[in-house]
């Protein structure tokens, strides 16, 4: 099983009942043999350019673990899913993730150090 990041842009009209399209995406992942390790709904955001005559989309981010043949199955299914405007399925960059965690840790350390100095 390999780790992937999946970002899905869901049709903005489905924002009121977001659980229905999310269930469809979750089923696509699990049917392909994958496992969702994290899910994060980023909410409705303006798109950089129009997609299928829409200016907004609901962004949902998933961390998933997939077997070797699953990415192709998931891509083919998401391409024909009406609820999904766009998606991005990419392998996890462990070096980049570690660098971000280190930067966040340094920022927290600096913030707590600055707070102590102010007292």
Instruction: For residue range 67-97, list pLDDT tens digits in order.
Output: 999 999 999 999 998 999 999 999 988 888 7
The pTM for the full model equals 0.79
- Do 81 and 14 contact (CB within 8 A), yes or no? no
Cα dihedral across residues 70, 62, 17, 56: positive or negative: negative
Which residue reads 């660098």 in tokens? 99
The tens digit of pLDDT for each residue in 18-60 reads 999 999 999 999 999 999 999 999 999 999 999 999 999 999 9
How far apart (Å, rounded) are the C-alpha atoms in residues 111 and 93? 27
The gap from C-alpha 12 to its chain's centroid, in whole angstroms, comes to: 16
Confirm if 92 and 29 have CB atoms less than 8 A apart.
Answer: no
Q: Which CATH superfamily is 2-92 part of?
A: Ribosomal protein S6/Translation elongation factor EF1B (3.30.70.60)
């Amino acid at each position: 099983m390999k780790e992937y990041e999946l970002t899905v842009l869901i049709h903005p009209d489905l924002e009121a009942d977001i659980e229905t399209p999310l269930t469809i995406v979750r089923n696509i992942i699990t049917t392909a043999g994958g496992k969702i390790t994290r899910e994060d709904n980023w909410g409705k955001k303006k798109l950089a350019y129009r997609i299928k005559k829409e200016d907004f989309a609901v962004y949902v981010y998933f961390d998933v673990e997939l077997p070797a043949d699953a990415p192709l199955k998931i891509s083919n299914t998401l391409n024909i899913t009406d609820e999904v405007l766009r998606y991005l399925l990419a392998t996890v960059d462990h070096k980049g993730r570690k660098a971000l965690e280190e930067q966040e840790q340094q920022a927290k350390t600096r913030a707590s150090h600055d707070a102590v100095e102010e007292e």
